[in-house]
Structure 1
């Protein structure tokens, strides 16, 4: 079952993100989780099984595009369609928000993730992502 996360889910979801290798030293996943639940244009969807949370996806709508972050499935739950189900739930949530398009960022060397998203019909876009950190 996929449902919206609550703040009580923060520790196990962040642990899942860390185990899945999605966190980076320059991003605070605890803060990311809290901001996603506090902002009106975003949420985190989770999948539970008897032993706890086995999947999650953060989703947000910036008023122009829908964005997907932190899609993670526990190792023992992979290859059973849960990643696809989480992406479908994310797309449904974005449609309800009025998002006309879905986007996500994948590191260029992550062939497994790129293959997964391509199997769902997502296509590489001809754009360059630029950025800089705002914190001192």
Structure 2
């Protein structure tokens, strides 16, 4: 397995992985999410590749105050083999290199498997509520089958 930076030719396979892992939602267009990441921090969209197939991804962000993790995905056929842990170690390495003091992330409250994973690698629940406000709608709504 190789961990490397995302390449534009990876887009289709990465979105297919996100769909397979059920990370996409109709109100978040993954094509736009990738474009926005590449426009802002292109070296912080990371993929795991095995025999030229994309089997994992993580989108890392740093705003000068906190590091953020989005789209951590491992192909279900490759889960529980250490790929998610390796992707997170690479994310942490890059964030530490920038002097990032803390990583934050959001998990849907019904995703017990993800909660268990993050707890197993040293994350703990912060006593906070997560709020959001959309400034730019991703229109048209994204559909995993056609978008």
Does the pair score TM above 0.5?
yes
The offset of 1:10, in angstroms, is: 1.0
Shift in Å at residue 133 of structure 1?
Answer: 2.0
Deviation at 1:42, TM superposition (A): 6.2
- The answer to whether 1:112 aligns with 2:113 is yes
Ranges in structure 2 where 5+ consecutive residues have no aligned partner: 138-147
TM-score of the superposed pair, with normalisation by structure 1: 0.94
Q: Judge which range, 35-44 or 78-87, deviates more.
A: 35-44
Between Structure 1 and Structure 2, how many residues are aligned? Answer: 136
CA apart distance, 1:18: 0.8
TM (norm. structure 2) is 0.87
Distance 1:54 1:96, change over 3 A: same
Deviations along 1:112-136, one digit per CA (max 9) or x if unpaired, are: 1000000001000011111222246
Structure 2: distance between partners of 1:80 and 1:3: 18
Deviation at 1:75, TM superposition (A): 1.4
**Over aligned residue pairs, what C-alpha RMSD do you find?**
1.4
Residue pair 1:5, 1:45 contacting (<8 A) in 2 also: yes
**SS of equivalent residue, structure 1 residue 98:** coil
Q: Deviations over 1:9-37 (max 9, x none)?
A: 11110110011000111111011112112
- Structure 1 match to 2:32: 31
Partner of residue 101, structure 1: 102
Structure-1 residue corresponding to 2:130: 129
1:19 and 2:15 are equivalent in the alignment:
no
CA contact (8 A) 1:13 1:53 kept: yes
SS in 2 for 1:58: strand
Q: Is 1:54 the counterpart of 2:55 in the alignment?
A: yes
